[in-house]
């Protein structure tokens, strides 16, 4: 089923009404047009609302407290992953990212909220955290990368996962430095995973991190292939079967197929260890 289209003029009007103290109409609109239950939430609607909020927070007479109360209330909604109401916390995450991009002086507060939500049990909310981080990276790469480096020191695998997923966005990796930064995030996340005792490898949240690394590493490799394939070779040489599994998953990605010689070299190492 295709996502329901939104009416931008109506969305703008509903946000204005919400910021005057009547958020219920906007909430009902989001829920009605969430495209849930179903496999795909209406991401375009959540993105459009975040864009609109990003413009509203630039206005000098904005009621900041009312906006913050609304978004924080949405973020606290405990709707299950496939319930239509889950669009509210998802929309809040994306809005936090855009608010941080639009109003850098609020940046610290917004990323703190995303940090808390990165460990949410619902995958839709976690994905919106990663997408929100990408808005922040686009607006201020250095500041956001520095924050994500701290996230990688967490003892929670879902927070590490969020950092790895956040930088795994090809349009953001526009130069060598950004590619190197993204690869460093991936390498640090890989080291975090590799340091786990074998007894923890089957934990659900650890598997989520492993699944993310199965695609995120290759995004950074494409941006800086020389250093990137060195990382894949190092992982392929490891005695850790889970690391080699991550390598195999990344080698399946079409983005690496333009490096046939390097892929073949890594595959040869994997086969030698099989």
pLDDT digits (tens, 9 = 90+) for 42-88: 999 999 999 999 999 998 867 888 999 999 999 999 999 999 999 99
d(CA 70, CA 88): 10
**Given this model, what pLDDT does residue 64 score?**
87
In the numeric block, the tokens 């598997």 are attached to 207
Residue 249's closest CA among 205, 213, 224, 220? 213
Quote the tokens at residue 71: 């978004």
**Given this model, what pLDDT does residue 2 score?**
45
Phi and psi at residue 260, to the nearest 5°: -60, -40
**Given this model, what pLDDT does residue 3 score?**
45
Helices 141-151/107-117 angle, 10° precision: 40
**Given this model, what pLDDT does residue 63 score?**
80
**Given this model, what pLDDT does residue 81 score?**
96
d(CA 125, CA 87): 9
pLDDT of 1 > 60? The answer is no
In the numeric block, the tokens 């936090």 are attached to 96
pLDDT tens track for 181-219: 999 999 999 999 999 999 999 999 999 999 999 999 999
Q: pLDDT averaged over the chain?
A: 95
pLDDT of 6 > 90? The answer is no
Quote the tokens at residue 9: 């003029």
**Given this model, what pLDDT does residue 4 score?**
52
């Amino acid at each position: 089923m295709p996502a329901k289209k939104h009416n931008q003029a109506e969305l703008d009007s509903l946000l204005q009404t919400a910021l005057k103290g009547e958020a219920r109409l906007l909430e009902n609109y989001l829920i009605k047009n969430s495209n849930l239950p179903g496999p795909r939430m209406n991401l375009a609607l959540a993105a459009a609302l975040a864009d609109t909020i990003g413009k509203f927070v630039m206005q000098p007479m904005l009621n900041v407290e009312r906006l913050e109360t609304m978004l924080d209330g949405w973020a606290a909604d405990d709707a299950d992953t496939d319930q239509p109401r889950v669009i509210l916390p998802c929309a809040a995450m994306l809005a936090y990212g855009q608010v941080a991009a639009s109003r850098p002086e609020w940046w610290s507060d917004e990323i703190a909220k995303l940090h808390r939500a990165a460990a949410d049990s619902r995958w839709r909310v976690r994905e919106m955290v990663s997408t929100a981080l990408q808005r922040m990276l686009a607006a201020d790469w250095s500041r956001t990368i520095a924050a994500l480096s701290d996230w990688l020191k967490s003892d929670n695998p879902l927070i590490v996962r969020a950092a790895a997923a956040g930088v795994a966005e090809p349009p953001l990796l526009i130069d060598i430095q950004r590619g190197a930064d993204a690869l460093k995030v991936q390498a640090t996340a890989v080291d975090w995973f590799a340091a786990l005792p074998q007894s923890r490898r089957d934990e659900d949240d650890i598997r989520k991190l492993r699944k993310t690394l199965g695609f995120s590493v290759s995004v950074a490799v494409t941006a800086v292939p020389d250093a990137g394939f060195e990382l894949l070779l190092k992982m392929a040489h490891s005695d850790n079967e889970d690391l080699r599994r991550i390598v195999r998953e990344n080698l399946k990605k079409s983005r690496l197929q333009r490096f046939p010689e390097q892929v073949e070299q890594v595959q040869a190492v994997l086969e030698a260890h099989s």
